[in-house]
Amino acid sequence: MNHIQALRRLPGFEAATIVFVPENNLGWEAERMESMLTRAGVPRVVTIDEDYNRSGLRTTKETKKQMAVLFNRALMDRRVLIHERFVTADEDHTPQDLQKTIIGELKTYQRVLTPNKTDQLADPTERFSGKMGGGCDGK
């Protein structure tokens, strides 16, 4: 909620509709967060509901691949910008700290191919990772 309030303090964003896109792979956490915003009466917030059954966006190997391809295309077309007044409600980090972290993660985002250990002729396992050092994003 603090992040939404920080965004709404920016000139031109006071009455903006906020699109809330929580990852819904975390049990019922997306529904809990959506409910918290509703109970708090935060105006003009809509939550993505990808399958009309659960709030949020489910990330899978397929959706990560699709997002990576689409985001890479947007980067190449120079359609990705970071707002000059990038905000954070995190008291431990400045907007510049977080901007640096995001850029670092974008630079390390990669397609990782792992050879099949039992069948050398089989296709390798493909995954996409934004973790620093290419660590696993989860199962």
* Res. 123: pLDDT tops 90: yes
Among 37, 59, 81, which residue terminates a domain?
59
65 shares its domain with 55: no
pLDDT, averaged across the chain: 84
CA atoms within 13 Å, Cβ hemisphere of 122: 9
- pLDDT higher for 127 or 134? 127
50 shares its domain with 12: yes
Tell me which residue range forms the domain holding 100: 60-134
- How many C-beta neighbours within 10 Å does residue 115 have? 11
pLDDT at 134: 47
pLDDT, one tens digit per residue, over 39-88 is: 988 889 888 887 767 888 888 888 888 888 898 899 889 998 888 777 78
pTM of the predicted structure, to 2 decimals? 0.65
Q: Which of 70, 63, 136, 75 minimizes the C-alpha distance to 102? A: 75
- pLDDT higher for 23 or 129? 23
Domain count, the chain: 2
On whether the CB atoms of residues 44 and 15 are closer than 8 A, the answer is: yes
129 shares its domain with 65: yes
- Rounded CA-CA distance 57/81 in Å is 23
pLDDT at 109: 79
- Rounded CA-CA distance 92/61 in Å is 32
Among 59, 82, 98, which residue terminates a domain?
59
Q: Which of 16, 118, 134 minimizes the C-alpha distance to 126? A: 134
- Rounded CA-CA distance 55/72 in Å is 26
54 shares its domain with 73: no
